Amino acid sequence: MTKTKVLMTDLDGTLVKDSKTVTQTDKAVLITLSKEYEIGIATGRSIKEIGYVEAITGVFAVYKIGFNGAIIAVNNTIVYEKPIAQAELNQVLDFIKKQKLLFDALDGEVRIGTYSEADQTRLWNMELITTKDPYADIATRKIFKLNIRPQAAKADEVLNALQVAFPSLAICKSGPRRIEVTAADVTKGNAIAYLRQHYPASYIAVGDSENDVSMFVEADTAYAISDTTTVTEVTTAADYIISNFHRLGNYL
């Protein structure tokens, strides 16, 4: 039987709640749901890292949205990609350098920048190259996303400054100390709109952070992962609020 419903899940904070691994409970529910739904993954991470999650869950993601929508793959074939234009990339790198901000740039194969990750279990077999002056190396690569990592107290200020300075880029906050920069109109929501146009289905979205809001708006049904009752932009955009991924089993 052809599946007419797609379950599109975020990774960090959602299916991979601790950004390290998938719990056995969440894995069991994912396997059960994969019998009825085509599984999709929409993440700020790379397609390569989606493969890491497939390996530990044993569940194949038919639809893969990487770098918040900068790359879309269907059955492991790239059907869409939009890197950051070189001129814009150089301008953002100049901003980062002047503001002395930690960052990493992603080309799909490695992460390179001034940021270093103390907890290696969060890297998912992705090489993180840290140097004091990575700018020349980055200039020779096709970059799909930048992670800018200000201090938490300054994150909103840096976010606003970036959005004012680079209105043509897609810029969003995805954690207390992480701002994501991609090419214009690159969002998870636009990626789902693209998929819906070419692969009509009922789309159900699950996520936990600001970069999932566009996906919630575009999806037919949206589930926000939240441990608190605090009303946020994320929970407001969702149809349902659940504490963990496995709680989907109570609804689907």
Say what the pLDDT of residue 236 is: 95
Name the phi and psi angles at 52, rounded to 5: -60, -40
Q: What percent of the chain has pLDDT over 70?
A: 98
Domains and CATH numbers, the chain: 5-81+187-250 (3.40.50.1000), 86-182 (3.30.1240.10)
pLDDT tens column, 215-243: 999 999 999 999 877 778 999 999 999 99
Tell me 16's DSSP state: B
Return the amino acid letter for 126.
Answer: M
From residue 232, how far is each of 12, 21, 28, 168, 201 by CA, in Å? 18, 26, 29, 26, 28
> Is 183 in contact with 156 (CB distance < 8 Å)?
no
Question: String of b and e for 39-75 (b: at least 16 CB within 10 Å)?
Answer: bbbbbbbbbebbbbbbeebebebbbbbbbbbbbbbbe
pLDDT tens column, 132-152: 788 888 988 999 999 999 999
* Nearest C-alpha neighbor of 98 from the set 1, 8, 186, 165: 165
Q: How far apart are CA 78 and CA 61, in angstroms?
A: 13
Burial class (CB in 10 A: 0-12, 13-18, 19+), 208: buried
Does the pLDDT value for residue 117 go beyond 90? no
Q: How far apart are CA 145 and CA 150, in angstroms?
A: 16
| pTM: predicted TM-score of the whole model, two decimal places | 0.92
Say what the pLDDT of residue 118 is: 60
